[in-house]
Amino acid sequence: MTRVEKTDLRREAGQRTRDGLQAAALELLAQRGQDGLTLREITERAGANVAAVSYHFGSLKALCDSAIEHALERYLDAQIQAIDSLGSAPTLQEVAAAFAGPMVRALAAGGQDLAVMRTVARVGIDPPEGWERLTGKFVQSRRDVLRVLTPHIPGVDEQELNFRTRCAAGLLNWLALAPIGAELAAMSAEQIERQLVPVVAGAFRGDTGGGSPSTS
């Protein structure tokens, strides 16, 4: 084996260790947040030694920050992609489905996908330091949603639409953490979407009750 091949193998092994530590941190953060989280818990779950955390991340806090940023970035990328994939004139139901899509898929899939969403939900309530690193993606996501929502809700200004969008996002975050999320996780993605999309569409419209969901 050449020196280059040995170097490549060490680099791949190092990346696997780093990814494993980040995945383990993400799972534990999703379960209970950062309170009481220890290096030993993370390294035991990842099958790594404590020194690996210092080598790859520098500290427990840096590892948690990296896992949180990874979760947020995955969520924002998925939501931006879903909104961008809509046609030129999507219905309000289609906008709601795209907005809720990452959560629907995570609830149905479970595992790492749901851990990402639970982490996003927790930090949405208590934003970590360094949140501003993803400001550009938050702005893009909000702008994209408002762009496709505005034609469906005439007479409502941007500030109000932004408030409704944040309320809809809060609803999705709550589902990731609340017992009802476990109930939904027992369903297929299609069943979850059928129940959830009208609720999200109603939040966008500002419904106060009554009537059936509009498909316009």
DSSP conformational letter for 214: P
pLDDT of residue 131: 64
107: part of which helix (H) or strand (E)? helix 92-109
pLDDT of residue 213: 43
pLDDT of residue 126: 65
Global pTM reads: 0.76
Q: What are phi and psi of 208, to 5 degrees?
A: -110, 5
Q: Which residues of the chain have pLDDT under 50?
A: 208-216
Residue 213 is encoded by which pair of tokens?
């969901």
Helix (H, G, I), strand (E, B) or coil at 87: coil
Residue-wise pLDDT tens digits, 48-74: 888 888 888 888 888 888 888 888 888
Number of H helices, E strands in the chain: 10, 0
Please tell me the chain's helix, strand, coil percentages from 3-state DSSP, rounded to the nearest 5: 80, 0, 20
Residue ranges of alpha helices (H) inside 150-188 are 158-177, 179-185
